[in-house]
């Protein structure tokens, strides 16, 4: 396991005074690259072969999040390599080494000219296999996310600040959109000050772009604590729509 | 001058591959607190007296912003203390010590029970006076921001992720809203991939809250490169509106 030290900086907290989940999500992606780079398959390493890592799935489950100026560690390791996918796991520990939560991510490696996935079971990707550790994380795997025709639906303009270095809406921004929309759509059930995101699962299926102009965000309550979200893109030629991201957000009462 | 070292982390870049201005804005607020704490008047120091620092104005002018993994330094110092205000300046230097840009902030110290500003010219605030340095920054001071009745206007839902630890829409979020709205409202003039924010000036006048539900964002082009923004809150009792934030955003062609 590669482990990286962090401290909750002022102005990175959510409304409950805890490290914002989107900031933590960003740090997971960052340590994923630190760790991959250490083992010679980071963004800069694969870029030489015209490849790029693409996030396919991210599950975060945090029973506690650190407070302002609290120190914590993010440990990360590759757990599995199969066909065109690799699983990277994360453990977030407090300063005494006690787990606060876990995350599970799935990545594929894409050729940025052909957009085709690279077979990760080849000799070329030996460095990834060498980094595999069997250790698992005690969180539920990703589930099926399917919204009904009764889901609520909102148009969301794609903003300048949603975009990443590749001109796509960035991965963590979709997570932010999903959480925000649930709080907006279910004010009688959840409120930012009385609830916190205990688990979020995001399935990344396609990309969207500034010139798409708007996304459609659907939400639906699945059970008492869990809400489903689907983010949909209008195809530029007006011929239809496609699902870009699906998410499941679990909100629990915040005890302070 | 107190100076702090940074490095552009992956996933903190904007669409042009440069450190996102909102990330830099957040870092300015962070080093302001590091520096103030070093001189015994940081957030935790003033909290003991039931006081809190409130940002009143922020001007950032960046002719260049660093790229992924590029190292840079943020220097900061108090430049002036007058009545209930203090000016804190910033200089952002590249790894060779060459200035990339500057920022100017104005703060007041508020009693968080009475909401009244503290007189900063008293003995109680000696630590701030002791930290003053006369050095200035070569950027234009803040100007008058007044939009006409012809300004464009959009409703913006206040989202969960907009909120800070105090339950207010956070300072940098207003900056993000202002920049985003200009790109959305003037697609024929500016585009995220062909323009960059060279200067932004934000005037913070009042607070807004999640339970305000929506803000109204007005925009208007002032001259070829500069756009004015006003963010307005509906008063909760339905009796009217109040201006929360005003901003001026200067966008220049991005040369790469």
Token pair 């894409």 in the structure block, residue: A110
DSSP 8-state assignment for residue A165: T
**Interface with B, mutate which of A10, A158, A175, A177 (most B CBs under 10 A):** A10
pLDDT digits (tens, 9 = 90+) for B61-97: 999 999 999 999 999 999 999 999 999 999 999 999 9
- What are the Cα distances from residue A123, in Å, to A50, A114, A128, B170, B225? 17, 20, 10, 49, 53
- What are the Cα distances from residue A169, in Å, to A175, A212, B196? 11, 10, 17
pLDDT digits (tens, 9 = 90+) for B114-132: 989 999 998 778 999 999 9
**Helix (H) or strand (E) segment spanning residue A58:** strand A51-62
Q: How far apart are CA B70 and CA A208, in angstroms?
A: 28
CB A92 within 8 A of CB A60: no
What chain A residue is nearest to B195 in terms of C-alpha separation? A160
Q: What is the pTM of this model?
A: 0.95
- Residue closest to B177 by CA, chosen among B108, B244, B104: B244
Of B160, B184, B193, the CB nearest to A192: B160
Given pLDDT bands bounded at 50, 70 and 90, which one contains residue B112? Answer: confident
| DSSP bridge partners of A73 | A5, A93
How far B185 CA lies from chain A's nearest CA (Å)? Answer: 10
As to burial, measured by CB atoms within 10 angstroms (0-12 exposed, 13-18 middle, 19+ buried), residue B158 is buried
- What are the Cα distances from residue B207, in Å, to A15, B32, B171? 14, 21, 9
* Rg of chain A taking only CA atoms, in angstroms: 18
Token pair 């059930």 in the structure block, residue: A189
Cβ separation A11–B157 shorter than 8 A: no
Q: How many CB pairs under 8 A join A and B?
A: 96
> Residue ranges of the domains in chain A?
2-130, 152-253
Cβ separation B184–A157 shorter than 8 A: yes
Give me the phi and psi of B63, to 5 degrees please.
Answer: -80, -25
What chain B residue is nearest to A32 in terms of C-alpha separation? B10
The per-residue pLDDT for A30 is: 95
Q: Which residues of A235-249 are buried (b: 16+ CB within 10 A; e: fewer)?
A: eeeeeeeebbbbbbb
Cβ separation B164–A15 shorter than 8 A: yes
How far A165 CA lies from chain B's nearest CA (Å)? Answer: 4
Query: What is the number of other CB atoms lying within 10 angstroms of the CB of residue A188?
Result: 5
pLDDT at B256 over 80: no
Fold: same for B2-130 and B152-253:
yes
Q: How far apart are CA A102 and CA A60, in angstroms?
A: 6
CB B55 within 8 A of CB A196: no
Q: How far apart are CA A212 and CA A192, in angstroms?
A: 30
CA atoms within 13 A on the CB side of B49: 16
**Chain B residues close to A26, C-beta within 8 Å:** 11-12
Q: Could you give the residue ranges of the DSSP H alpha helices within chain A?
A: 21-38, 43-47, 126-130, 171-185
Three-class SS state of A130: helix
- Residue closest to B140 by CA, chosen among B26, B22, B248: B248
Cβ separation B163–A11 shorter than 8 A: no
pLDDT at B37 over 90: yes
Three-class SS state of A236: coil
Please indicate whether residue A10 or residue B105 has the higher confidence score (pLDDT). Answer: B105
Of B30, B161, B191, the CB nearest to A180: B161
Cβ separation B184–A160 shorter than 8 A: yes
Whether the complex's predicted ipTM is more than 0.85 is answered with: yes
**Interface with A, mutate which of B52, B65, B161 (most A CBs under 10 A):** B161
Cβ separation B170–A11 shorter than 8 A: yes
CB B219 within 8 A of CB B239: no
A171-185 vs A21-38: helix crossing angle, rounded to 10: 160
Average pLDDT over every residue of B109-118 = 92
Asked if CATH classification 2.40.30.30 holds for the domain at A152-253, the reply, yes or no, is: no
Q: Which residues contact B126 (CB under 8 A, 6 or more apart)?
A: none
Long-range contacts of A28-31 (CB under 8 A, 24+ apart): A28/A58, A28/A60, A28/A74, A28/A76, A28/A90, A28/A103, A28/A105, A29/A55, A29/A171, A29/A172, A29/B10, A29/B11, A30/B9, A30/B10, A30/B11, A31/A2, A31/A4, A31/A74, A31/A76, A31/A90
The per-residue pLDDT for A237 is: 81
Average pLDDT over every residue of B227-252 = 94
pLDDT at B160 over 80: yes
Given pLDDT bands bounded at 50, 70 and 90, which one contains residue B53? Answer: very high
Return the CATH architecture of domain A2-130: Roll (3.10)
CB B170 within 8 A of CB B164: yes
How far A95 CA lies from chain B's nearest CA (Å)? Answer: 21
Of B165, B176, B191, the CB nearest to A17: B165
Q: How far apart are CA A38 and CA B31, in angstroms?
A: 29
**Interface with B, mutate which of A192, A193, A197, A227 (most B CBs under 10 A):** A192
Q: How far apart are CA B115 and CA B52, in angstroms?
A: 9
Tell me which residues of chain A have a pLDDT lower than 50: none
Q: Which residues contact B148 (CB under 8 A, 6 or more apart)?
A: B220
pLDDT digits (tens, 9 = 90+) for A214-244: 999 999 999 999 999 999 999 878 889 999 9
Sign of CA dihedral B155, B169, A23, A20: negative
CA atoms within 13 A on the CB side of B123: 0
Query: Which DSSP string do the residues of B40-99 spell out, in sequence order?
Result: T-SHHHHHTTTEEEEEEEEEEEES--PBTT-EEEEEEEEEEEETTEEEEEEEEEETTS-E
What chain A residue is nearest to B16 in terms of C-alpha separation? A165
CB B247 within 8 A of CB B228: yes
Mean pLDDT of all residues belonging to chain B: 95
Q: How far apart are CA B17 and CA B172, in angstroms?
A: 20
């Amino acid at each position: 396991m590669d482990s990286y030290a962090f401290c909750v900086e002022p102005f990175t907290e959510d409304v409950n005074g805890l490290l914002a989940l989107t900031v933590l999500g960003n740090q997971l992606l960052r340590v994923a690259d630190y760790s991959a780079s250490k083992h010679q398959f980071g963004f800069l390493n694969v870029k030489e072969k015209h490849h790029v890592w693409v996030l396919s799935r991210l599950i975060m489950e945090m029973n506690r999040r650190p407070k302002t100026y609290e120190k914590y560690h993010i440990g990360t390791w590759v757990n599995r390599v199969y066909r065109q996918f690799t699983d990277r796991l994360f453990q977030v520990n407090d300063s005494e080494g006690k787990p606060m939560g876990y995350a599970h991510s799935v990545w594929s490696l894409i050729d940025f000219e052909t957009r085709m996935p690279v077979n990760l079971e080849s000799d070329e990707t030996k460095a990834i296999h060498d980094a595999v550790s069997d250790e698992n994380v005690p969180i539920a795997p990703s589930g099926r996310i399917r919204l009904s025709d009764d889901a609520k639906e909102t148009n969301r303009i794609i903003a300048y600040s949603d975009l990443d270095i590749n001109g796509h809406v960035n991965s963590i921004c979709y997570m932010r959109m999903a959480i925000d929309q649930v709080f907006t759509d279910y004010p009688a059930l959840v409120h930012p000050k009385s609830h916190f995101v205990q688990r979020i699962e995001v399935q990344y299926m396609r990309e969207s772009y500034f010139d798409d102009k708007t996304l459609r965000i659907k939400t639906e309550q699945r059970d008492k604590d869990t809400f489903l979200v689907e983010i949909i893109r209008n195809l530029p030629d007006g011929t239809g729509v496609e699902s870009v991201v699906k998410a499941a957000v679990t909100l629990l009462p915040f005890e302070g």
